[in-house]
Amino acid sequence: MSILGDKLNQYINASGYTVYKLSQISGVNRTTIVRMLNANRLPERRNMEHLIPYLKLTNDERKDLWRTYEMMSSGEELFYQRQYVLDMMLAIYNPPERQHISPFRAARVDTGEIFDPIETPCIMSGKYEVAHALSLIMLSEDAKEICIFAPFQNDFLSEFFGHFSRNTLSEVHIHHMMHLIKKPADITQVNYNLSVLSHVLPLALAEDIDYHAYYSYVNNTVSNESQIMFPFYVIIGNMLIELAYDFSSARFTSDPDIVQHYRNSFEALRQKTRQLVEVHSSFSEIMSNFTSSETNQYSTSTISTHPRIVNIFDKSILSHMIRADIATSQFFEQLFQNHLTRLMSIKNRTCFFPITGLDDLVYNGRITDIPYEYVAPVPIEDRMTILERLRVECMKESCKIRITNPISFPMKTNITIQSTSDQRIILLAVDHNEKKFRYLEIDEPALTDSLVDFLEYMGNDFGICSDYVYSRDQTLETIDHYMDELENMLSTEES
């Protein structure tokens, strides 16, 4: 008996039903149920779907059963890889609140406590002591650029960046070099790469720091660096901080010749690496990149704050959206119309969006994450047309149009994540209040493979995914509700 068969047998016994009775009420053949309990092969999903509602399971038991089924179906490594990406997605859309007290507990500059460069060179031991000194250097040095050659091995660097972004008053350019594993061979190596990305993305998306990550390949996570006393380093202003492999000790140097030597070495190495995430923040540049990126390649899957289904638009709706009172209105209208023409041929499409996106469409006339200064609310008639077309797309078997569960998959940030047919991942972040934008592009193969796989997997209407994304029927029911709302609004407007 398989692990799944053992759990099924346990839950059937707990339900009080015999196999014969369960067969009668579920419609699953009795022989099929016996095989599901005794065979080592994976049962058909439709039989699982028919059985589970009659097993009187708690929510946790149902999740456990589907978790076991999916683990057998995809394999344990792929299952845990998808779970890791899911956690990363949840973190992107629900970032932790900024704390006013640094995890480093370092003193602010205005307290008078500074790191005295006269005391260098010196060696310091203890992670807290090293972290405290780094914070003081960061706040004391008038640095316009910070160079980091160190991995995200633990939360040390994350805490450093968190403290930095909360306390820095002027813009500083951060260049950070790290390692990735080329062609990861097992789940440990896959998740190592994903862990690097999960640390990098919040920094690349942050609006208050100018962060650039670069990578080179290593064969495994354990490198010869562990044999070197101080394999990593950070350059802040006129200070060089060499770090131990586990960040438990550091050597501080302010000798200008030594600092310049490391800075030159860092720049030479940076020229040989690739950017992990390409970042743009100019809106016109972002829109050109975001639309021209699909000239020869098309988008396949999208998570966004609004439905991003090209077939719900037409040139008439676009003309109503683009504000006529801005100098660049003709540029943007032409840009979007060209984009629309290119994408109309897409047949297969996956899109996930929150209920708040439909709220914004129905009640405010917003159907895009483009800043409000460039687009106007669409008329109520256009809103109804958009919902009708969205419903048609949702009905198609070739499309996976789904609403995310507002409880288990809340989306607090205005970020679009999009995969393309040439295996790239694009992220577009928009802050309407601050009028700030970030466009990120990822093309590292091992990372994009994992992310593309997850976006395709997320559209499943069963198992663990059903806890985070509405089914097709639930999505259609929600769209119908908002169409009724629009009908009432139209009736009120006419009267």
Query: What does the pLDDT look like over 237-273, one tens digit per residue?
Result: 889 999 998 888 999 998 999 999 999 999 999 999 9
- Inform me whether the pLDDT recorded for 153 exceeds 50: yes
What lies within 8 Å, CB to CB, of 11 at 6+ separation is: 55, 57, 61, 65
Q: Could you tell me if 256 and 291 lie in one domain?
A: no
Q: What mean pLDDT is predicted for residues 310-326? A: 64
Element (H, E) at 270: helix 256-270
With respect to residue 331, please indicate whether it lies within any of the assigned structural domains: yes
Most confident of the following: 132-141, 237-246, 302-311: 237-246
- Inform me whether the pLDDT recorded for 76 exceeds 90: no
Q: Could you tell me if 343 and 215 lie in one domain?
A: no
- Inform me whether the pLDDT recorded for 102 exceeds 70: no
Last residue of a domain, one of 243, 274, 305: 274
Each as own residue / partner, the long-range contacts of residues 67-76 (CB below 8 Å, 24 or more positions apart, any chain) are 67/463, 67/464, 68/3, 68/4, 68/7, 69/4, 69/42, 69/43, 69/45, 69/463, 70/463, 70/464, 72/2, 72/3, 72/4, 72/42, 73/42, 73/45, 76/187
pLDDT classification of 156: cutoffs 50, 70, 90:
low
With respect to residue 83, please indicate whether it lies within any of the assigned structural domains: no
pLDDT classification of 428: cutoffs 50, 70, 90:
confident
DSSP count for the chain of H helices, then E strands: 17, 15
Q: Which residue has the higher pLDDT, 321 or 492?
A: 492
In the structure encoding, which two tokens stand for residue 222, read together? 């354990």
Beta-bridge mates of residue 210 = 173
For 45-75, b/e burial (b = at least 16 CB within 10 A) is: bebbebbbebbebeeebbeebbebbbbbebe
Element (H, E) at 488: helix 472-494
Q: What is the pLDDT of residue 344?
A: 54
Q: What is the pLDDT of residue 107?
A: 37
Each as own residue / partner, the long-range contacts of residues 58-65 (CB below 8 Å, 24 or more positions apart, any chain) are 61/11, 63/464, 63/467, 64/7, 65/4, 65/7, 65/8, 65/11
Q: What mean pLDDT is predicted for residues 475-480? A: 95
- Inform me whether the pLDDT recorded for 339 exceeds 70: no
Least confident of 191-200, 315-324, 415-424: 315-324
Q: How buried is residue 151: exposed, middle or buried, by Cβ count under 10 Å (0-12/13-18/19+)?
A: buried
Last residue of a domain, one of 222, 244, 274: 274
Integer Cα distance of 444 and 420 in angstroms: 13
C-beta separation of 282 from 402 below 8 A: no
Domain hosting residue 51, numbered range: 3-74
Q: What is the pLDDT of residue 481?
A: 96
Integer Cα distance of 116 and 103 in angstroms: 22
With respect to residue 385, please indicate whether it lies within any of the assigned structural domains: yes
- Inform me whether the pLDDT recorded for 367 exceeds 50: yes
Q: Could you tell me if 336 and 451 lie in one domain?
A: yes
- Inform me whether the pLDDT recorded for 82 exceeds 80: yes
Q: How buried is residue 445: exposed, middle or buried, by Cβ count under 10 Å (0-12/13-18/19+)?
A: exposed
Q: What is the pLDDT of residue 352?
A: 92
pLDDT classification of 187: cutoffs 50, 70, 90:
confident
Q: What mean pLDDT is predicted for residues 87-105? A: 66
Q: What mean pLDDT is predicted for residues 350-362? A: 90
CATH code of residue 173: 3.30.870.10
C-beta separation of 23 from 30 below 8 A: yes
Q: What is the pLDDT of residue 70?
A: 87
Integer Cα distance of 163 and 161 in angstroms: 5
In the structure encoding, which two tokens stand for residue 471, read together? 């089914």
Q: Could you tell me if 448 and 490 lie in one domain?
A: yes
Q: Could you tell me if 245 and 302 lie in one domain?
A: no
- Angle (deg, nearest 10), helices 445-457 and 76-93: 90
With respect to residue 87, please indicate whether it lies within any of the assigned structural domains: no
Q: Which residue has the higher pLDDT, 266 or 141?
A: 266
Q: Which residue has the higher pLDDT, 330 or 486?
A: 486
Q: How buried is residue 35: exposed, middle or buried, by Cβ count under 10 Å (0-12/13-18/19+)?
A: middle
Q: Could you tell me if 314 and 407 lie in one domain?
A: yes
Q: What is the pLDDT of residue 105?
A: 37
Last residue of a domain, one of 50, 74, 98: 74
Rounded to the nearest 5°, which phi and psi values hold at 402? -135, 145
Q: How many structural domains does the chain have?
A: 3
Q: Which residue has the tokens 């660049």?
A: 328
Least confident of 54-58, 276-280, 377-381: 276-280
Q: Could you tell me if 432 and 290 lie in one domain?
A: yes
Q: Could you tell me if 145 and 256 lie in one domain?
A: yes
CATH code of residue 44: 1.10.260
Q: What is the pLDDT of residue 365?
A: 86
Average pLDDT value for the chain: 79
Give 153-183 as a DSSP string. Answer: -SSHHHHHHHHHHHH--S--EEEEEEEEESS
Integer Cα distance of 360 and 366 in angstroms: 5
Element (H, E) at 419: strand 415-420
Q: Could you tell me if 314 and 457 lie in one domain?
A: yes
Q: Could you tell me if 255 and 289 lie in one domain?
A: no
Q: Which residue has the tokens 């398989």?
A: 2
With respect to residue 434, please indicate whether it lies within any of the assigned structural domains: yes
pLDDT classification of 318: cutoffs 50, 70, 90:
low
Q: What is the pLDDT of residue 186?
A: 86
In the structure encoding, which two tokens stand for residue 290, read together? 């975001």
Q: What is the pLDDT of residues 285-303, one digit of tens each?
A: 665 655 554 444 555 788 9
With respect to residue 154, please indicate whether it lies within any of the assigned structural domains: yes
N- to C-terminal Cα separation, the chain = 67
Q: What mean pLDDT is predicted for residues 119-141? A: 78
Least confident of 39-48, 71-80, 334-343: 334-343
Integer Cα distance of 211 and 172 in angstroms: 9
Q: Could you tell me if 345 and 417 lie in one domain?
A: yes
Integer Cα distance of 157 and 247 in angstroms: 9
Q: Which residue has the higher pLDDT, 445 or 371?
A: 445
Is the omega angle on the peptide bond into residue 121 within 30 degrees of 0, that is, cis? yes
Q: What is the pLDDT of residue 300?
A: 72
Q: Could you tell me if 289 and 411 lie in one domain?
A: yes
Integer Cα distance of 238 and 124 in angstroms: 18
Q: What is the pLDDT of residue 100?
A: 40
C-beta separation of 147 from 265 below 8 A: no
In the structure encoding, which two tokens stand for residue 39, read together? 């065979």
Beta-bridge mates of residue 426 = 418, 441
Q: What is the pLDDT of residue 104?
A: 38
